[in-house]
Structure 1
Amino acid sequence: MLSASDVDAAARRLTGAVVRTPVVSSPALTRTVGAPVVCKAENLQHGGAFKFRGALHALLGLSDARRARGVVGASSGNHGGALALAGHELGVPVTVVLPADVPEVKADRARSLGAQVVFYDRHTQDRDALVAELADRHGYTIVPSADHPDVMAGAGTLAVELLDQAPDVRTVLVPVGGGGLAAGCATWLAEAAPHVRVIGVEPEDAADTAASLVAGERVQIGAPATCADGLRHTTPPAGPFAVNQQHLAGVVTVSEAEIGTAMRWCFEHLRMVVEPSGATALAALAARWGEIGEGPVGVVLSGGNVTWDTFAQMVGEPGGNPVRGLREHEHAA
């Protein structure tokens, strides 16, 4: 099982190699919520998302022989880009397996860093079987996006920074896709700051972890249609789920409209561009504050890799998602 000491070791290993991303705040958001709020801006991380932490840490843990043979990983986009960037920096050949409907910006970024990109149909193909086949055929090491102790430990270094930057936080909101970020953060905070609750946030249409926690075991859902492409998992990976069962205080869900509202709010009040997955945790503040409870609150803005067309569709009026939620709460405050 992952331990806090694993995350501490990752933090030492990654010092100077990853961006110590800032925490940002807004008086308007604090007024709206009624409690102090800080946002951890992982959209400013190398590669535009927190995924670089775990990908780089995993590659640093490989032997020279394994690095020389190369690695393969499946991704909805950000892990693939992070793996490509880490491989580019360390001279490790990388193959990324991406869903065919991934935003083109994410595939282009991986290619620009020298990675080989292999596409699959998320509705008809088994991506894990494809990854295993490529690994067996070429001798690659598999580096999954979440279900790997080094990946989870690397992701958890975000919590180490956050608590140092905002030591008064009592609740941390983390988006949940594969669950590796939540697992890494919750594992470290459970020991270093057990008074801090970690709450996961999923889109309503991709709530596989929420359903699994209720069931007490991993369950399978249908292919999600959420705009948050980084969170379209159909079942939580075994490793992160075991950790999150033990350490997460809970999981709440948000609608597509609420995600769009949060993206617009980030732009208007924080001057931050975040992708739908990156705005999901912030969306929970207005929509689910009654279920979240105690502040001060730390919110993870997990990534900013979004095309202009998607961004405009999500935040625009009219024709995009309804912009309510935070704005209504703000006007009522």
Structure 2
Amino acid sequence: MIELADVEEALERVRETSRHTPIEYSHTFSDMTGAEVHLKMENFQRTGSFKIRGATNRIMTLPQEARDKGVVTASAGNHAQGVALAASRSGVDSKIVMPEYAPISKINATQSYGAEVVLYGADYNEAADHAHELEESEDRTYVHAFDDPYVMAGQGTIGLEIMDDLPEVETLLVPIGGGGLISGIATAVKGRNPDVRIVGVQAEGASSVAQSLQKGEIYERDSVDTIADGIATRRVGDQPFEVIRERVDEVVTVSDPEIAMALTYVLERGKTLVEGAGAAPLAALLFEKFDFEEGEVIVPAMCGGNIDLNTLTTVIMRGLVATGRYVKIKTVLRDRPGSLQDLLDVISAKKANIYAIQHDRTSRQIGMADTEVEIDLETRGHDHVEELIEAIRDAGYEVEVLV
């Protein structure tokens, strides 16, 4: 099991490629929660993610013979970029296997840092299986995304920065995928101050740690399904799991809608961009997935900002729906002049803004003299949505809320 000294030794190596990222006090999230919230802005890190830390520590500790033969790894995107940049800076050849459905932005970024990218498999686990085949056939060193003591120690340097910059921290929220990040941070933080509480956060669609802790052995999911692709792994790593059992105080889960809302809040109120995995710790705080006291000093680790623009669009829309800022309705009108205007007058009276309108006269679910109408609306919250729907129904329309 890694110890504080391993993380401290990693710090000098990690400084060769990574930034000491800031911790920023958030008035917004402090007011929303009653806690004293400080955000660890690791989304400002080089390559947009903490992964550069562990990748650098691993590659810089390789013997020269292994460096000459090159490295290989598998990643959904963030670890890929970290390995690519760390390898390029060290003059080491790198080959990265990414899932076929990895965001194009992460594929392009990985290539731009000098790695050869191979697309293989439906998810991280299938990509990792192929990467291990390349490890054997090409005699490369496999740089694991999380199940490696040097990688874990490198990620743990975030914990050292937090303790240096905010020694009064009481609770630290850390996302969990494979467990490399939280195992390193927990080692660093508990080594400096055993009283700091470490809370791990997983996405519901990729949660395995809570079950693993209950069973006393690692539980592996059959599949993963979450917008937080940075923590979308079927199981926690063997070595991180041992550290989690020893040094992590609690593990909670958050849903995709909760992650989407947290990401939307960070973008709109915090004026910064994080990916789903980076928003998960804040979601756990905003939706009170764990107990905390008024004024408690809490640090959510915003671990990355690499989000594909198509994914971002979907996440923002989900966040708007979840906060009552967007609603899509369907109703049926008589297919004659003025029918649509009558409906729009009801909507206008309730001061809802129209994004889009779609007509369909061909649906078999309506009469020959009717037309089906779908309307996308901008609203001002859940109460406003309820008032709007009630007004439309009071005007004699049957309304179906689509989203």
TM-score (norm 2): 0.77
Distance 1:8 1:125 in 2: 31
Partner residue in 2 for 1:305? 306
Secondary structure of the structure 2 residue equivalent to 1:152: helix
Percent identity of equivalent pairs? 36
| Alpha-carbon shift at residue 146 of structure 1 (Å) | 0.3
Spell out, residue by residue over 1:30-53, the C-alpha distance to the aligned partner (whole angstroms, 9 max, x if none).
111111011111111010000000
- Asked whether 1:64 is paired with 2:64, we answer yes
Deviation by residue 1:191-234 (Cα, 9 ceiling, x = unmatched)? 21101011110111111112111211101112111001111111
Match of 1:323 in 2: 323
Query: In 1, Cα distance between the equivalents of 2:73 and 2:123?
Result: 18
Matched to 1:193, the amino acid is N
What is the Cα deviation at residue 317 of structure 1?
Answer: 6.6
For residues 224-261 of structure 1, what are the alpha-carbon distances to aligned partners after superposition, in whole Å with 9 as ceiling and x for unaligned? 11001111111111011111111110110001111011
In structure 2, the partner of 1:8 is 8
- Note if contact 1:252-1:288 (Cα within 8 Å) is conserved in structure 2: no
Q: Which has the higher helix share?
A: 1
Q: Following TM superposition, where does structure 1 have runs of at least 4 consecutive aligned residues deviating by more than 4 angstroms?
A: none
What's the counterpart of residue 297 of structure 2? 296
- 8 A Cα contact 1:278 1:300, kept in partner: yes
CA distance in 2, matches of 1:282, 1:263: 8
Q: Is the 8 A contact 1:57 1:151 kept in 2?
A: yes
Matches within 5 A, 1:46-65: 46-65=46-65
Letter in 2 for 1:284: A
The equivalent of 1:211 in structure 2 is 211
Contact 1:274 1:304 in 2 (8 A): yes
The residue that corresponds to 2:132 in the other structure is 132
Q: Which segments of 5 or more consecutive residues in structure 2 lack a partner in the other structure?
A: 325-379, 382-403
* Superposed displacement of residue 190, structure 1: 1.7
Q: Deviations over 1:176-200 (max 9, x none)?
A: 0010000001112222110101111
Q: Which amino acid aligns with 1:107?
A: I
Q: Is the Cα contact below 8 Å between 2:99 and 2:126 reproduced in 1? A: no
Instruction: Name the residue aligned to 1:331.
Output: none
CA contact (8 A) 2:28 2:270 kept: no
Other structure's SS at 2:252 match = strand
Q: CA deviation at 1:148?
A: 0.6
Distance 1:148 1:123, change over 3 A: closer
Structure with a larger share of its residues in strand? 2
CA offsets 1:260-282 (integer angstroms, 9 cap, x no match)? 11111111222110111111111
Q: Which residue of 1 aligns with 2:335?
A: none
What amino acid sits opposite 2:214 in the alignment?
A: V
The answer (yes or no) to whether the contact 1:11–1:154 under 8 Å persists in 2 is yes
| Alpha-carbon distance in 1 for matches of 2:235, 2:209 | 7
| Aligned 8 A contact 1:172 1:198 in 2 | yes
Any stretches of 5+ residues in structure 1 without a counterpart? 329-333
SS at match of 1:102: coil
1:291 aligns to what SS in structure 2? coil
Partner residue, 1:32: 32
Q: Note the alpha carbon deviations across 1:297-318, whole angstroms, 9 max, x for none.
A: 0110000011222112212378
Q: Aligned with 2:288: secondary structure?
A: helix
2:362 alignment counterpart: none
Q: Tell me if structure 2 keeps the 8 A contact 1:73–1:97.
A: yes
Contact kept in structure 1, 2:257 and 2:318, CA below 8 Å? no
What residue number does 1:168 align with?
A: 168
Q: Do the aligned partners of residues 127 and 108 (structure 1) sit closer, same or farther apart at CA in structure 2, a change above 3 Å counting?
A: same
Q: Which amino acid aligns with 1:307?
A: D
Could you state the TM-score of these two structures normalised by the residue count of structure 1?
0.93
Contact persistence 2:74–2:145 (CA under 8 A): yes
Equivalenced residue count is: 325
- CA distance in structure 1 between the partners assigned to 2:22 and 2:218 by the alignment: 35
CA distance in 1 between counterparts of 2:204 and 2:71 reads 33
Contact 2:73/2:128 (<8 A) preserved: no
CA separation of 1:30 and 1:125: change in aligned 2, threshold 3 A: closer
How is 1:94-105 mapped onto 2 (pairs within 5 angstroms)? 94-105=94-105
Q: What is the RMSD computed on CA atoms of the aligned residues? A: 1.9
Query: Are positions 1:189 and 2:189 aligned together?
Result: yes
Amino acid across the alignment from 1:145: A
Sort the Cα spacing of 1:290 and 1:182 in 2 relative to 1 into closer, same or farther, 3 A: closer
Considering Cα pairs closer than 8 Å and 6+ residues apart, tell me whether 1 or 2 has the greater RCO. Answer: 1
Are the structure 2 counterparts of residues 273 and 124 from structure 1 closer, same or farther at C-alpha, using a change threshold of 3 Å? Answer: closer
Partner of 2:264: 264
Moved more, 24-33 or 120-129: 120-129
CA deviation vs aligned residue, 1:73-100 (integer Å, no higher than 9, x gap): 1111100111011112111111111111
* Distance in 2 separating the partners of 1:253 and 1:237: 18
Higher mean alpha-carbon deviation, 117-126 vs 194-203, is at 117-126
Contact 1:315 1:323 (C-alpha < 8 Å) held by counterparts: no
Q: CA deviation at 1:122?
A: 3.1
Contact 1:260 1:323 in 2 (8 A): no
How far is the alpha carbon of 1:106 from its aligned partner? 0.7
The question of whether the paired residues in 2 share the 8 Å contact of 1:199 and 1:292 is answered with no
Distance in 1 of aligned mates of 2:118 and 2:226 = 23
Kindly state the Cα deviation for residue 165 of structure 1 after the two structures are TM-superposed: 1.1
